[in-house]
Structure 1
Amino acid sequence: MFTPPLALASLSGEADADWASAGADYAGAAFLGGIAIDDGSRAAARDLRDRDRTEFLPADPIAFIDRELAALEGTPIQPAFNVRSATSDPIPDAARVCRDRGALLELNAHCRQDELCAVGCGETLLRDSDRLRAYVDRAAATGVTVGVKVRAEVPGVELPALARDLEAAGAAFVHIDAMDTESIVRDVVDATGLFVIANNGVRDEATVREYVDYGADAVSVGRPSDNPVVLERVRDAVDRQFGLEPKPSN
């Protein structure tokens, strides 16, 4: 899906085209966003901003996705966009922009802030599998490559079973925030044919090796994704653990 199998994970209000371009020397993919694309999720994002979190709140979120992806044309990185929505209605519009720009679409079933969960997006979708499957189905119908960002350790949610359902609905990948249950990556790998991206605590050789041993197809870096020292260290580990040619020295 992308090479090297190292992704930059979305950072609310920070992961834009400039951020992705800055990491292109190290990563094979960059997940821009997340961005709220419907009225409910945008209201929640405004509440988050009011308590000093960074959020993308352009007047037109679909046009914003298009502009950011256009800015990455010619950049040697696979772009992707993480989107939040409390309804499925804007999903096809976001999907078509990503499709036409050669980007992946990532549906956010991951964020756990109270404001987002209260309107029915983010982690709430993990507990509403019918609605999440419908999101995937509507996106996949456009021809975009679609996947879902999920979180482990959510009570009542069996990720391997959910991942099978998402695959049946048309998902091509799943991006797993493993929390403190790294072995969940192996469970999802064993249960599906999805491309599995492992996230959480990826900082060095040991953490990359652990996820590779569990069968991950790629790993992602979140908070340190703007730190070239960390990215260089993780990229070197990815090259070794996945058996790739080392990155040429600058």
Structure 2
Amino acid sequence: MPSTSFSPPLALASLSGQSDASWARDGATYAGSAFLGGIALDAEARTAARRLVARGRDEFLPPDPLAFVDQQLAALEDVPIRPGFNVRATTAEPIREAAEICRRRDALLEINAHCRQDELCTVGCGESLLRDGPRLCRYVNTAAATGATVGVKVRAEVPGVDLPALARGLEAAGASFVHVDAMDSESVIADVADATELFVIANNGVRDEATVREYAAYGADAVSVGRPSDDPVTLGRVRGAVDRHLTPGVRSV
């Protein structure tokens, strides 16, 4: 299985329409990985993204999304950070094509099963994939077959979704990592870590020593910072905590 590890075990989580190569370059002083995107890859996902823009949300909508993925990753070749790309699609083929690009660029491919906006869920993207485990696993399997390092961004507290069981299915399909937005259920990190050998990235509320220490105690391999990912004060504080609580125990899968 391809390696997910990055050092330090601190990632910058994607923020739609904002997380580009320049953002990742700025954060490289603190983080070992940065997930660019999210990017809508196919026609239905792009239609949903345009609807989000129409109501004021930031989204990446380049004319050629796959070329954009390649160009953004190419811009980070001289930056000491492991890049990843968060992608959305309603079909497997564009995910496979994005995975091919990520494999060539030694980047992580992150399938978005996280965003909960109605526009995305209606077309079958984002959080709706958590309720359609077989389809999500097919996406993972298709992407992993390229040799890329593939994972999924998920969220806790979705009614009817057994996250540890889903994580086992993702692992069997070829996923190497899972990026978990724990919401207000931080202990779900332990449930997922105990259920699989996936590299577990814990997200939500990572701001200080206490949150990093808590996620480390639950078995996270890394943590990620979301909205404050462009704030050097927060990143410096989290990086110090990561060095104390996570770096000695980072593992590769």
TM-score w.r.t. length of structure 2: 0.96
| Matched residue SS, 1:232 | helix
2:186 pairs with 1:182: yes
Q: 2:168 aligns with which of 164, 167, 172?
A: 164
2:93 pairs with 1:80: no
Separation in 2 of the partners of 1:191 and 1:40? 34
- Give the aligned residue type for 1:15: S
1:243 positional shift: 5.1
The structure, 1 or 2, with the larger RCO (C-alpha pairs under 8 Å, 6+ apart) is 2
Match of 1:136 in 2: 140
- Give the aligned residue type for 1:82: N
Match of 2:58 in 1: 54
Separation in 1 of the partners of 2:247 and 2:75? 32
Separation in 1 of the partners of 2:39 and 2:226? 16
2:26 pairs with 1:22: yes
1:87 positional shift: 1.3
2:215 pairs with 1:226: no
| Matched residue SS, 2:93 | coil
Q: 1:27 to 1:243 in 2, by over 3 A?
A: closer
Match of 1:92 in 2: 96
| Matched residue SS, 2:159 | coil
Separation in 2 of the partners of 1:167 and 1:55? 29
| Matched residue SS, 1:216 | coil
Q: 2:111 aligns with which of 107, 110, 113?
A: 107
Match of 2:7 in 1: 3
Task: Describe the superposition over 1:85-132 as per-residue Cα deviations: whole angstroms up to 9, x where unpaired.
Answer: 111121110000000011000000000000000000000000000100
Match of 1:248 in 2: none
Q: 1:39 to 1:202 in 2, by over 3 A?
A: same
Q: Percentage identity across aligned positions? A: 72
Q: Which runs of 5+ in 2 are unaligned?
A: 249-253
Q: Is the 8 A contact 2:183 2:204 kept in 1?
A: yes
In the alignment of these two chains, the number of paired residues is 244
Q: Is the 8 A contact 2:28 2:81 kept in 1?
A: yes
2:130 pairs with 1:126: yes
Separation in 1 of the partners of 2:109 and 2:220? 19
Moved over 3 A (4+): none
| Matched residue SS, 2:92 | coil
Match of 1:150 in 2: 154
Q: Is the 8 A contact 2:7 2:247 kept in 1?
A: no
Match of 2:46 in 1: 42
